[in-house]
Amino acid sequence: MVYEKEAYIARLAVQKAAYLTRAVSEKILADKASNTITKEDKSPVTVGDFSAQAIIINAIKTNFPNDEIVGEEDGHDLTINADLSNKILAELTKNDELYNSKFQIKDELLGQNFKSTDQIIKVIDQGNSEGGNKGRYWALDPIDGTKGFLRGDQYAICLALIKDGKVELGVIGCPNLPDSFDSPSYKGGLFTGIKSQGSFYTKLYDEKITENLGERIFMKNSLKSTSELKVCEGVEKGHSSHDDQFKIKTLLNIPNGQTLNLDSQVKYCSLSKGLAELYLRLPVNFQYREKIWDHAAGNILITESGGKVSDMYGNELDFGKGRYLDSHGVIACNSQFHSEVIKAVKETIKS
């Protein structure tokens, strides 16, 4: 199988990071102030974000030392915040022991255990690649949906392998995603999409990751009309234009009760598993540019499960432009109705 080792290591690393984020989430909910800082762009970043990025970069660099990484976080704030750095080291040390023991993982498989805060900062700062349309690199969002994470709601750990500007592999861990929104029996999903091989799902927790990718999953492409489309949208109104999205749904005759408001790339995962069929993300303003780590892994999950992803005009997303997408909006839909959705989008933005 092409990318067999890459998929195996990526899935292990995402699972290991998910165990840590689940463990620290209760502490953060109880004491956000001492476990969270605010970045220059006013967005929050937590012990979980930094720790997850350290775990995943450590694993990637250990197994694929020549690969670059486009990561969301950098270690600058940790150099001036010793208390937060020490908390991260403590959580990483505890998680190394628990995870490696639970699944009999050899330390060297995912990188040597962290021994100092300086080592953590050095690893986190290896996520400084600018990306582009040449070579191999990974796009990493250690906690996508940090605000959801801070609420104890939906968030995702997202990792994608990009080669010459094209997404080849995507892995997303969704710690709080139920197996069903109607009658959930299990919480936590691990999603994998591999170019020309399909999209797959397995439980995120309690099961040892192997080369077996799990259950093949598909989007629903047998609806009678657009009125049956179930829609995913973001929770934060500052991230997408809910007003424009309401107009689009009205044009498509989609009832109000068929919209799920979810943080993060959990939305892509929900579509790929057949829990919904349409994801709308219309820009609040045209100056905003999407980051590649917010969409790369989700993009391949959709295309490999029978759907289409585009900007608001119907063009494919180009992940070879650097750390940002050079386009506006994101529309993900089943193949059956993607073109009709784009027509409704164009009609809405013209009015």
On whether the CB atoms of residues 142 and 169 are closer than 8 A, the answer is no
| 249: its two tokens | 């749904």
**CA distance linking residue 89 with residue 342, whole number of Å:** 47
According to the annotation, is 294 in a ligand binding site?
A: yes
Residue of 21, 46, 49, 226 marked catalytic: 49
According to the annotation, is 143 in a ligand binding site?
A: yes
According to the annotation, is 206 in a ligand binding site?
A: no
Buried b (16+ CB within 10 A) or exposed e, 176-212: bbbeeeeeeeeebbbbbbbbebbbbbbebbeeebeee
Phi/psi of residue 79, each to 5°? -70, -20
Q: What is the largest CA-CA distance in the chain?
A: 59
197, 231, 223: which is closest to 211 by C-alpha?
197
According to the annotation, is 72 in a ligand binding site?
A: yes
Judge whether 49 counts as a catalytic residue.
Answer: yes
Token look-up 């309690």 returns 206
Residues 6+ apart with CB under 8 A from 257: none
Residue of 36, 46, 117, 146 marked catalytic: 146
Judge whether 117 counts as a catalytic residue.
Answer: no
What residues does 68 pair with on adjacent strands?
A: 137
According to the annotation, is 73 in a ligand binding site?
A: no
33, 52, 222, 232: which is closest to 144 by C-alpha?
52
Annotated binding site: 72, 141, 143-144, 294
Residues identified as active-site: 49, 146
Annotated binding site for Mg(2+): 72, 141, 143-144, 294
